[in-house]
Amino acid sequence: MSAAHAEHTGNVFAHLLAELGDHHGFYVGPYKVASLPIILWDEGRLHIYPSATAMEAAGLYRMVEGHPVRVADGHRPTLDLSITNLVVYQWLGMLLLGLVLWRTVQRYRRAPLQAPRGLQNAIEAVVVFLRDQVVSPNISSRRLANGLLPYFLTLFFFILVLNLLGLVPGGHTATGSLAVTGALALTAFVVINGGAIATLGFKKWLGHLLGGGPLWLSPILLPIEIIGMFAKAFALCVRLFANMTAGHIALLSLVGLIFFFGTVLIAPVSVAFSVFVYALETLVAFLQAYIFTILTAVFLGLASEEQH
């Protein structure tokens, strides 16, 4: 293989894998559909630009490897609050989920005694499954389980919709971003510890940090338990991110093989394996939403149990 061909094939894979990242624009597949606002907080001032082009034209900032930096010293702004591609896909997911659930609620209101059918039946089955098989068995406090059921339902459906949007041709997976999975894990962290404090009281919750051990072991047990609290949230974050990213890397790599070898003869093999991985990714989309939800319920149940 010549050096020029190696460089070309390397660029193909680099270009394909770059599509997994976030962008300052709304993209469908590799095609930019619209520019998105750039919002920066820097040096005590808020800077708002309608697009990256307008930002660079103003002369204060420029884009370097997809990130705005100051022209004067090359440093990034204090805070980048820009609306990015993955933010738009989260909005699309919330809009789609809201419309579907609104139509389901409207059907119940029109005919509360009629047997559910179609999408309404599927959503009811998922809701009942999450209530009876995920939340209730893992959280012993009925009051806590019933009170947080809307959170767990929202968590599952939101992650599922974002996962499935990434499988739509041209779609991008918001859960393939550490920022998104980190925010979801942060909400889980707050719910787990907030729910435990609300159920047990602050004093008994502190007792959990000793892991049931004697007080004289607190210098050893306390740091371990605190690290464990954050490790659970970190595991939730990384597990979802890694699983959703890995499948897309595999899909893009299989497609890239056609360009790597520079022949359509590899296309049947590449497409066959891509279809298999795509079907596997569809299963993973549901599985990861379920795993994130049930682990959050398990962690909450463990944190809110009375010490014996």
Q: What is the pLDDT tens value at each position of the chain, 308 positions in all? A: 444 444 444 465 565 556 667 888 898 877 888 999 999 999 889 999 999 999 999 989 999 888 899 998 888 999 999 999 999 999 999 999 999 999 888 888 888 888 878 888 889 999 999 999 999 999 988 999 999 999 999 999 999 999 999 888 888 889 988 999 999 999 999 999 999 898 888 888 877 777 666 777 777 778 888 888 899 999 999 999 999 988 888 887 787 777 777 777 788 888 888 888 889 999 999 999 999 999 999 999 988 876 65
DSSP for residue 92 = H
Domain assignments of the chain as residue spans, ordered by start: 37-82, 85-303
In one-letter notation, the amino acid at residue 149 is L
- CB–CB of 25/34 below 8 Å? yes
* Residues 300 and 200 sit within 8 Å (Cβ to Cβ): no
Our CA dihedral for 252, 155, 190, 21, rounded to 10 degrees, sits at 20
Q: Tell me the one-letter amino acid at 152.
A: F
- Element counts in the chain: helices (H) and strands (E): 10, 7
Structure letter (DSSP) for residue 49: E
Amino acid at 126: V
Phi and psi (nearest 5°) for 26?
Answer: -90, 120
How many residues are given for the chain? Answer: 308
Angle value at C-alpha 150, between 148 and 156, nearest 5 degrees: 105
Q: What three-state secondary structure class fits 41?
A: strand
- Pairwise CA distance, residues 260 & 10, whole Å: 8
On whether the pTM is more than 0.85, the answer is yes
